[in-house]
Chain A
Amino acid sequence: MDSLEVRRFVIGTLIILVILIFIGRLFFIQVMDSSYKFSAENNSQRYVTQYPARGLIYDRSGKLLVYNEAAYDLMVNPMQLKAFDSATLCEMIDISKETLRTNLQHAKNYSRYKPSVILKQLSSKTYAVLQEQLYKYPGFFVQPRTLRKYADSSAAHVLGYVGEVDNNIIKKEPYYQMGDYIGISGIEKSYEKVLRGKKGVNIYLVDVHNRIKGSYDNGKYDTAAVFGSNLVSSLDIGLQEYGEELMQNKMGSIVAIDPESGEILSLVSSPSYDPSLLIGRVRTNNYRKLLLDTLKPLFNRAVMAKYPPGSTFKVINALIGLQEGVINNNTEFSCHYGYTAGGIHVGCHGHKSPLNLPESIQISCNAYYCNVFRRIIDNPVYNSTEEAYDVWRNYVTSFGFGQKLNTDLVNELDGFVPKPDYYNRYYGENGWKSLTIISLAIGQGELGITPIQMANMAATVANRGYYYIPHVVHSVQGENTIDDRFTKKHYTKIDSANFEKVIEGMYRVVNGGEGSTARIAAIDSIAVCGKTGTAQNPHGKDHSIFIAFAPRDNPKIAISVFVENAGFGSTWAAPIASLMIEKYLKGHISRRRKWLEQRVLNGDLIHNHDEKN
Chain B
Amino acid sequence: MTRRINIFSSIDWFTVLLYLILVFLGWINIYAAVYNEQHHSILDMTQRYGKQLIWIIAAVVMAVIIFIIDTKFYSFFAYIIYGFTILLLIGVLIIGKEINGARSWFALGGFRVQPAEFAKVATALALARFLSGYNVGVKNFRNLIIIAFIIFFPALLIFMQPDTGSALVYASFIIVLFREGMHPGFFFLGILIAILFFITLMMETFSILVILISVALFAYALMNKNLKQALAGGLIIAASAGLVYGFSKLSGTHWTHTRIIFTGLIVAVIPILYLALKLKLKNVLVVLAFLGGAIVFSNSVDYVFDHVLKEHQRRRINIMLGLESDPLGVGYNVNQSKIAIGSGGLTGKGFLKGTQTKFDFVPEQSTDFIFCTVGEEWGFLGTTTVLVLFTILLIRLLIIAERQRSSFSRIYGYGVVSILFFHVVINIGMTIGLVPVIGIPLPFFSYGGSSLWAFTILLFVLLRLDASRMELLR
Residues of A within 8 A of B (CB): 1, 3-4, 7-8, 10-12, 15-16, 18-19, 21-23, 25-27, 29-31, 33, 35-38, 42, 44-45, 79, 111-114, 201, 220-221, 223
Contact = CB atoms under 8 A, between A and B. Distances in A.
Interface string B354-377: 010011110000000000000100
Contacts of B344: 30
Given A8-B402, A23-B384, A31 B346 contact: yes
Interface string B373-390: 001000110011001101
Interface string B172-201: 000100111100000000000000000000
Contacts of B204: none
A4 B181 contact: yes
Nearest to B402: A8
B329 to A, nearest CB: 10
Contacts of A37: 342-343, 345
A30 B179 contact: no
Nearest 7 Cβ contacts at the A-B interface: A36-B342, A30-B380, A113-B358, A29-B342, A221-B327, A19-B391, A26-B383
Given A33-B342, A36-B338, A223-B328, 8 more contacts: A4-B179, A4-B181, A11-B179, A19-B387, A22-B387, A29-B432, A30-B342, A38-B345
Nearest to A37: B345
A18 B342 CA distance: 20
B165 interface: no
B345 A30 contact: yes
Given A26-B384, A30-B380, A11 B432 contact: no
B343 A36 contact: yes
B439 interface: no
Contact of A201 (B328, B343, B349, B384): B328
B338 A29 contact: yes
A31 B179 contact: no
Contacts of A42: 349, 355
A125 B165 CA distance: 55
A229 B338 CA distance: 37
Contacts of B429: 22
Contacts of A21: 434
A23 B387 contact: yes
A38 B402 CA distance: 45
Nearest to A38: B343
Contacts of B402: 8
A269 B434 CA distance: 63
A4 B402 CA distance: 11
Contacts of B343: 36-38
Nearest to B179: A7
A509 to B, nearest CB: 63
Nearest to A216: B339
A37 B398 CA distance: 37
A525 B425 CA distance: 89
A2 to B, nearest CB: 11
The CB with the most chain A CB atoms within 10 A, among B335, B390, B391, is that of B391
A30 B383 CA distance: 10
Given A26-B341, A33-B342, A8 B179 contact: yes
A108 to B, nearest CB: 9
Contact of A113 (B349, B359, B428): B359
Nearest to B395: A12
A45 B355 CA distance: 9
20 contacts: A4-B181, A7-B179, A8-B398, A11-B179, A15-B391, A15-B398, A16-B395, A21-B434, A22-B387, A22-B425, A22-B432, A26-B341, A30-B341, A30-B345, A31-B346, A36-B339, A36-B342, A44-B359, A111-B37, A112-B37
A541 B346 CA distance: 83
A12 B358 CA distance: 37
Nearest to A26: B383
Q: Interface residue tally of chain B, by bracket?
A: 35 or more
Q: Which of A3, A21, A29 has the most CB of B within 10 A?
A: A29
B380 A27 contact: yes
B384 A15 contact: no
Contacts of A4: 179-181
Chain B contact residues, majority secondary structure = helix
B246 to A, nearest CB: 47
Contacts of B379: 30
B187 to A, nearest CB: 10
Nearest to B187: A10
Nearest to A77: B359
A88 to B, nearest CB: 28
A10 B174 CA distance: 13
A22 B424 CA distance: 11
Contacts of A19: 387-388, 390-391
B150 interface: no
Contact of A114 (B178, B179, B359, B388): B359
A113 B429 CA distance: 28
Contacts of A45: 339, 361
A18 B179 contact: no
A26 B429 CA distance: 10
Contacts of B414: 11
Contacts of A1: 181
B130 interface: no
B315 to A, nearest CB: 16
B262 interface: no
Contacts of A33: 342
Contact of B398 (A12, A27, A111, A221): A12
Nearest to A44: B355
A26 B432 contact: yes
Nearest to B359: A113
A22 B395 contact: no
Contacts of B238: none
Nearest to B350: A42
B439 to A, nearest CB: 19
Interface string B104-148: 000000000000000000000000000000000000000000000
Given A4-B181, A11-B179, A30-B375, A16 B345 contact: no
A195 B379 CA distance: 46
B236 interface: no
A281 to B, nearest CB: 28
Contacts of B175: 11
Contact of A31 (B338, B380, B391): B380
Nearest to A7: B179
A17 to B, nearest CB: 11
B453 interface: no
A10 B177 CA distance: 13
Nearest to A1: B181
Contacts of A221: 327-328, 335
B444 interface: no
B287 interface: no
Contacts of B345: 30-31, 37-38
B106 to A, nearest CB: 26
B361 to A, nearest CB: 8
A15 B434 contact: no
B168 interface: no
B423 to A, nearest CB: 13
Contacts of B327: 220-221
A113 B357 CA distance: 10
A261 B418 CA distance: 72
Contacts of B178: 7, 10-11
Contacts of B82: none
B31 interface: no
Contact of B380 (A7, A11, A26, A223): A26
B394 interface: yes
Nearest to B175: A11
A534 B349 CA distance: 78
B421 interface: yes
B243 to A, nearest CB: 47
Interface in B388-434: 388, 390-391, 394-395, 398, 402, 414, 417, 421, 425, 428-429, 432, 434
A3 B344 CA distance: 44
Nearest to B418: A11
